[in-house]
């Protein structure tokens, strides 16, 4: 990656000393992150749910510990995220928050204080932020609303404010809109909604530098190369339209759900590797892509196991290393793609 002027990275997590999580506190995992990664991102610890126990307080203890370890190892960190604009992912208190007699003003203050406090705390140590995460409804491409956006006036205005505030608070940073875009063939509404949102940002002069393409991939059948072929035209048209507007692209959360692949491990791993390679070949055709982050390096800690277990209950294998930290064919496929 470095030889190509690119970076490979991964999410990492906080954990209590001794706890077995995707954390620097686990020496085996720490070694692996240091060996393979040129960039890290916190899996959960920078989200509002983690940083904001209440409307008036911040709790930086966990994320500070992660940043201290990353700094000690000279590993750059990107920010994820400054606003995950869905009711489900805001802290509980947000839904019933009293925005008072001047709700637009109160909402503005809440959002600006959040983004400014976080950005100023980490300064130039963070040079890329997912400012807004997943604001588009996959079913129809419209924007989610939250108590915050209803108080402020509209979801568009809320997202615009988030980016303007981030630009002011972190003028050095790449500002990213990050989404999963339901990338599968035929599922067009989500992508159309994201495209419309990014067109709107351009038209309104909102400071957005890049689209974060999460890349939580899902194999569609045993012939994973055929899945790529089926997807290619539609997906390229989408990425072409994004890059034509001048946006950079970042692969922010790559992992693979091995759906419709046989339970047998060798075949499954090969299918996942081929699929990953096909996807990266497609994406690496875009010079606007510099950073590729995995959503975890090992199957041991992947969120996919809890999010969507396999129907046959076989353990998911979404990452380049298995649960015992041994490299899988996906690891070789990623290396070969670079």
Tell whether residue 142 is a contact of ligand XIL (CB under 6 A).
Answer: no
Tell whether residue 259 is a contact of ligand XIL (CB under 6 A).
Answer: no
Tell whether residue 43 is a contact of ligand XIL (CB under 6 A).
Answer: yes
Tell whether residue 303 is a contact of ligand XIL (CB under 6 A).
Answer: yes
Tell whether residue 86 is a contact of ligand XIL (CB under 6 A).
Answer: no
Closest CB to ligand XIL among residues 151, 256:
256
Q: Supply the minimum distance, in Å, between the C-beta of residue 217 and ligand XIL.
A: 12
- 33, 217, 299 from 269: Cα distances, Å: 21, 14, 12
DSSP 88-100: GGS-HHHHT----
Q: Supply the minimum distance, in Å, between the C-beta of residue 214 and ligand XIL.
A: 6
Candidate list 10, 214, 215, 219; residue touching ligand XIL; CB under 6 A: 214
Closest CB to ligand XIL among residues 19, 335:
19
Residues in contact with ligand XIL, counted by CB under 6 A, come to a total of 7
Closest CB to ligand XIL among residues 214, 224:
214
Give CA–CA dist 118/251, Å, rounded. 23
Closest CB to ligand XIL among residues 130, 322:
130
Give CA–CA dist 55/94, Å, rounded. 8
Give CA–CA dist 327/147, Å, rounded. 45
Tell whether residue 44 is a contact of ligand XIL (CB under 6 A).
Answer: yes
Are 329 and 269 in contact, with CB atoms under 8 Å apart?
A: yes
Give CA–CA dist 328/325, Å, rounded. 9
Tell whether residue 274 is a contact of ligand XIL (CB under 6 A).
Answer: no
**117: closest CA among 91, 84, 79, 153?**
79
Query: Residue 232, class by beta-carbon neighbours within 10 Å (0-12 exposed, 13-18 middle, 19+ buried)?
Result: middle
Closest CB to ligand XIL among residues 44, 145:
44
Looking at residue 142, what DSSP letter applies? P
What residue ranges bind ligand XIL (CB under 6 A)?
43-44, 133-134, 214, 253, 303
């Amino acid at each position: 990656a470095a030889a190509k002027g690119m970076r490979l990275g991964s999410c990492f997590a906080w954990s209590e000393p001794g706890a077995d999580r995707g954390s620097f506190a686990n020496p085996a995992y720490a070694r692996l992150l240091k060996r393979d990664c040129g960039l890290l991102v916190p899996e959960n610890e920078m989200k509002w749910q983690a940083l904001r126990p209440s409307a008036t307080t911040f709790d930086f203890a966990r994320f500070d510990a992660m940043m201290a370890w990353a700094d000690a190892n000279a590993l750059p960190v990107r920010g994820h995220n400054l606003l995950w604009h869905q009711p489900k992912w805001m802290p509980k208190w947000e839904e019933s928050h009293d925005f008072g007699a001047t709700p637009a003003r109160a909402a503005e203050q809440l959002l600006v204080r959040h983004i400014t406090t976080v950005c100023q705390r980490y300064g130039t140590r963070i040079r890329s932020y997912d400012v807004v995460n997943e604001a588009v409804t996959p079913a129809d491409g419209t924007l989610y609303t939250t108590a915050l956006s209803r108080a402020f006036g509209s979801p568009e205005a809320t997202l615009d404010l988030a980016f303007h505030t981030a630009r002011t608070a972190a003028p050095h940073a790449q500002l990213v809109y990050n989404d999963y875009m339901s990338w599968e063939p035929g599922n067009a509404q989500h992508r159309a909604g994201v495209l419309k949102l990014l067109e709107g940002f351009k038209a309104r002069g909102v400071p957005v530098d890049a689209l974060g393409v999460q890349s939580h991939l899902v194999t569609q059948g045993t012939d994973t190369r055929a899945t790529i072929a089926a997807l290619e035209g539609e997906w390229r048209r989408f990425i072409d339209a994004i890059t034509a507007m001048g946006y950079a692209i970042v692969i922010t959360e790559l992992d693979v759900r091995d759906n419709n692949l046989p339970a047998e491990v060798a075949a499954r791993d090969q299918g996942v590797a081929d699929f990953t390679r096909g996807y990266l070949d497609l994406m690496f055709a875009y010079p606007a892509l510099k950073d590729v982050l995995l959503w975890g390096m090992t199957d041991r800690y992947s969120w996919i196991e809890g999010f969507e277990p396999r129907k046959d209950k076989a353990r998911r294998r979404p990452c380049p290393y298995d649960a015992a930290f041994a490299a899988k064919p996906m690891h070789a496929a990623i290396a070969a793609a670079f």
